[in-house]
Amino acid sequence: MKIRKKKKSPGTVLFILPTVLLFVLLLLYPVLSSVFYSFTNKHLIKTRLDMVAFENYASVLRDKEYWNALLTSSKWTLICLAGQFLIGFTAALSLERIKHGRTLFRTLLIVPWAFPTIIIALVWKYLLNGVSGFIPNLLLKLNWVSAAPQFLSNKDLVFPTLVFINVWFGFPLIMVNVLSALQTVPKELYEAARIDGAKSGQQFFYITMPQINPVITLLLILRTVWIFNNFDLIYLITGGGPAGLTKTVSIYAYEVGWGLKSLGRSSAVSILSLIFLTIVIVILLQLQKKTNKNE
């Protein structure tokens, strides 16, 4: 009883006050003002502000370029997710299987994760550039190609190349999280399954997957959001080019806001993304609920 009374003492509020203030000032207020700006003609430099109702939304939704960007973003998110999970998962399972050098391999494999995006962009541009780049020249020397491939300006190569770079950077996070999730699966379950004669494939789908399902779903959601929203990787490598082929919604929003200086319209683009992502996440969560029921 005494402890309960103490809990209500005003001192405890001081502990949480900074967090609440931060939440309100740096997250809640900006989001609400973004919603507000999306209904105005807010300009980057001009100070005049008029309400324009749904005009920003209408003009965005009428813009063919927006729909192209949305398509690019969706394609980009799906393919990168698949790549990151494929490599991350297989790397984690391989690490589980080996006996020696596990720490060494894990340490080497997480190196890309520590890279600042700008350095990822610089080093890959340097390695891949069509004139003096190491990789195109190496392929030439090996006689695998007849002319130095233009990885970042050829319209057929640029998208797969960006996906490769994204997966290179993103797989370690998946690997590390899958690995630590794998270690939470009780070993007895596998022993029991082995006695029952379950093959390793069966063990994976009937024991491992259901056990680590919650972590995977969380990872899937966080990564979907991150890849979809990510701006700097593509912006720094191709800037959305060549010919707008790699222009995602984030780059589109940046161009509208800081290129065309139309912050109101840029806000509308971002709000639309937020709605889109919310729908995707709700669907993902529903799917997880369903698979849980089926098991």
Partner 1 sequence: MHGLKKNKVRVAGSYIYLTILALLAVFPLLWIIVSSFKSNNEMNKFPTSFFPKELTMRNYNLVFEELKFGNNMLNSLIVSFASTVLTVVIAALGAYAVVRFFPKFGKLLTQGLILAYMLPTILLAVPYSITLGQVGLLNTRIGLIIIYLSFSVPYALWLLVGFFKTVPIQIEEAASVDGANKFQIFVTVVLPIVAPGIVAVAIYTFINTWNEFLYSLVLINSRDKMTVAVALQSLQGQEILDWGVMMAASTVVVIPSVIFFMCIQKFIAGGLAAGSDK
Burial of 195 (0-12, 13-18, 19+ CB in 10 A): exposed
Residues sharing a CB contact under 8 Å with residue 116, sequence separation 6 or more, in sequence order: none
Residue of the chain from 98, 144, 293, 295 that contacts partner 1 (CB under 8 A) = 98
Tell me: does residue 177 bind partner 1 (CB under 8 A): yes
Contact assessment for residue 204 and residue 115, using Cβ atoms and an 8 Å cutoff: no
CB nearer partner 1, residue 158 or residue 219: 219
Report the nearest approach of partner 1 to the CB of residue 6 (Å): 8
Segment interacting with partner 1 (CB under 8 A) among 63-71, 77-85, 120-128, 201-209: 120-128
Tell me: does residue 187 bind partner 1 (CB under 8 A): no
Report the nearest approach of partner 1 to the CB of residue 135 (Å): 10
Q: Which of 157, 168, 160 is nearest to 84 (CA)?
A: 168
Binding to partner 1 (CB under 8 A) within 215-274 occurs at 215, 218-219, 222, 225, 229, 231-232, 236, 250, 253-254, 257-258, 263, 266-267, 270-271, 273-274
Tokens of 221: 């959601």
For residue 295, the SS3 value is coil
Tell me: does residue 152 bind partner 1 (CB under 8 A): no
Burial of 7 (0-12, 13-18, 19+ CB in 10 A): exposed
CA 165, CA 167: separation in Å to the nearest integer? 5
CB nearer partner 1, residue 157 or residue 277: 277
Tell me: does residue 34 bind partner 1 (CB under 8 A): yes
Q: Which of 149, 201, 207 is nearest to 181 (CA)?
A: 207
Residue of the chain from 117, 153, 211, 288 that contacts partner 1 (CB under 8 A) = 117
Residue of the chain from 61, 75, 82, 107 that contacts partner 1 (CB under 8 A) = 107
Tell me: does residue 26 bind partner 1 (CB under 8 A): yes
Tokens of 226: 């991150």
Binding to partner 1 (CB under 8 A) within 154-173 occurs at 168, 172
Q: Residue 205: enclosing H or E segment and its boundaries?
A: none
Binding to partner 1 (CB under 8 A) within 47-86 occurs at none
Q: Which of 165, 150, 153 is nearest to 83 (CA)?
A: 165
Phi, psi (degrees; rounded to nearest 5) at 216: -60, -45
